[in-house]
Structure 1
Amino acid sequence: MNDKISCLTKIKTLYPEMTDSEKSIADFILNHPEEIYSLKISNLARETGVSLPTVFRFTRTLGYEGFKDFKVNLVKDMAVGLNISIEDMDEGSLENLTRNIFEIVEKNLKETRSLIDYDSLARAIKGIVNAKRLIFFAVSSSLSVAFDSYSKFLRAGFDCLYDSDTYTQRIKSTQCRKGDVVIGISFSGESIEVIECLKNARENGAMAICITTFMKSTITKFADIKLFTAPVQSYYQKIDLPSKMSLTAILDVLYLNAVLHDRKKALKYISKSEEELNKFSKIIKSSKLI
């Protein structure tokens, strides 16, 4: 796992796959990060009701040499503000709430950047640049993000496919072929519709890219390239604000790098798209429809 990923982000991304004992440790750390440095491994084991070896294995799973190494890195993360408490935000004024929301988004984007595997990112960009077709699969709240990215790639001259209907997506996935690149988007990594589409596309020879939050989620089993966004544990998750922002950032990185591979060609298509949209806008305004 990337050494630059914060301790708390590692815990949250691996949380769904943890055992009950590991989740007890994780819950305590996530709820009381400021108390960890002063605790001995025996204290943490007693507080969480697990054995000493379980705590040790927990820290090793996260990529640390042991409990002491974990504590040192956690303190470093907290020193640079990675442990902003978003459950205890002051909502007493418009200014405070606005500041808190921006802090959540900034924190999530920073943690998402720490999750980037640049080798995987480079492979994804190369695949998109060379793709015969670029196809998006998403459901629910991920649809709007997928459509935004699809629209950008389409205007830049890429042969793209997108449909909000899950049945149509399923049919398209069975028609994928070698040379196609598909992007499956699922915050949880457990959206069965997206998983099945990625599985079908991959079986038919397409390159499958998944963008998700959890590193060991089901969707990762059916992807050639895996890209991750940082999780958010807060009631603000109900509006998916931080997750959508970080997901859009990852897709924009893919888009901009793919476009810059042949800037002249992309600008030509973007210019044509804008001309056509302006022409269409004038037709609509001059019609009796408005």
Structure 2
Amino acid sequence: MQIEDTMGFLIRSKYSLLRDSEKKVADFVLGRGELCRTISLEKLAKQSGVSQPTVVRFVKALGYQSFRQFRYRLIEEAADRYQREKPDVQIMYGYQLEQLEGIEQVPSQIVATTVAMLEDMQKSIVPGEFKTAVQMLAGARRIHLYCVENSAAVAKDLQTKLLYMGMDCRYDEDYYIQRITAAAMTPEDVAVGISYSGQSKDVVDAMKTAKKVGAKTIAITNFKKSLIGKWSDVLLCGSQEQHFYGDAIFSRATQIVIVDMLYMGIIAENYWKRTKELDKNSHIIRDKAYK
């Protein structure tokens, strides 16, 4: 079974479009899917803290005609999983690395935690917000990127991708220069702030400056209620969770994936124009690789 065929993938892909009451059902199913194979409509509503009609709306939002059809799909998925020999991988939210932890366990733990964070991100990305961000970037006269510390790698990746597509993008590591460029922006420009916490003073200040002079603003962060959102027209959230030994280790994982989403979205927005630029720029640097 492909991951896109699973109930978990389906719920996460629809999550941002659900009503708040329906999200309660989604959270319960994601957390206790095994129980939901045998639970009644009445009990699922009670366990989720919602009404029975809300549960029915939830299953219909997923594309099922009835609660029974939804439950049958869970049973089929469980049977398919049982037939496959699959190692028991534990998703370790908030795992704290101990001094005597077995080194050989680290790769699987890192992968498992990263996958969990990416699944959370799928629930946090709102399709309409994402589309708006793509259109803003695609139509920008110039794009300025603002970030500090770990997010610099993400900014450079985004800058490289945009430059390859023939877009005017600038990133300066110096925080003073960031503030100066932000103040010089116009309503035709787009500022992109990248901050895991959404509270980094230099990034928030640059976004605030850009917003006040009329530039369009996009924030890539992890928390919807962070300060950077106050100065952002569009908010692209990686997750709502805090993971693994502080913020730094996994902040780049979701941010890089969001960059890839924007990259592919911009190509899809004007396929022939973007691929033509990519081909042209690939030819320019072709002599930089050994044959």
Moved over 6 A (4+): 4-7
Amino acid aligned to 2:179: R
Q: In structure 2, what residue type is equivalent to 1:258?
A: I
Map 1:118-157 onto structure 2 (within 5 A): 118-157=127-166
Give the total of aligned pairs: 221
Give the aligned partner of residue 257 of structure 1: 265
Question: Could you tell me which amino acid in structure 1 is paired with residue 135 of structure 2?
Answer: K
Mapped pair 1:102 → 2:81? no
| Cα shift at 1:163 | 1.1
1:235-277 Cα distance to aligned partner (Å, 9 max, x none): 2x46x34321111111211111112222222222222222222
What is the TM-score with the length of structure 1 in the denominator? Answer: 0.66
% same residue: 27
Alignment of 1:14-163 (within 5 A): 68-69=47-48, 84-87=92-95, 91-92=101-102, 94=104, 96-163=105-172
Q: Give the partner amino acid of 1:267.
A: T
TM-score, with length taken from structure 2: 0.66
SS of the equivalent of 1:107 reads: helix
Over 3 Å counting, the alpha-carbon distance change for 1:163 and 1:131 in structure 2 is same
Other-structure match for 1:222: 231
Cα pair distance change 1:115/1:140, threshold 3 Å: same
Measure the CA separation in 2 of the matches of 1:82 and 1:198: 39
Check the 8 A contact 1:128/1:181 in 2, yes or no.
Answer: yes
2:196 to 187, 192, 195: 187
- Letter in structure 1 aligned against 2:48: D
Cα separation, 2, equivalents of 1:175 and 1:274: 32
Q: Secondary structure, in 3 states, of the residue corresponding to 1:87?
A: coil
1:198 aligns with 2:207: yes
How large is the Cα RMSD of the aligned pairs?
Answer: 3.5
Match of 1:178, SS?
coil
Report SS of the residue matched to 2:219. strand
Unaligned runs of 5+ in 2: 1-14, 33-44, 56-73, 79-88
User: Does residue 276 of structure 1 match 2:284?
Assistant: yes
Whether the 8 Å CA contact 2:92–2:109 is kept in 1: the answer is: no
Which of 225, 235, 242 pairs up with 2:250? 242
Q: Aligned AA for 2:136?
A: G
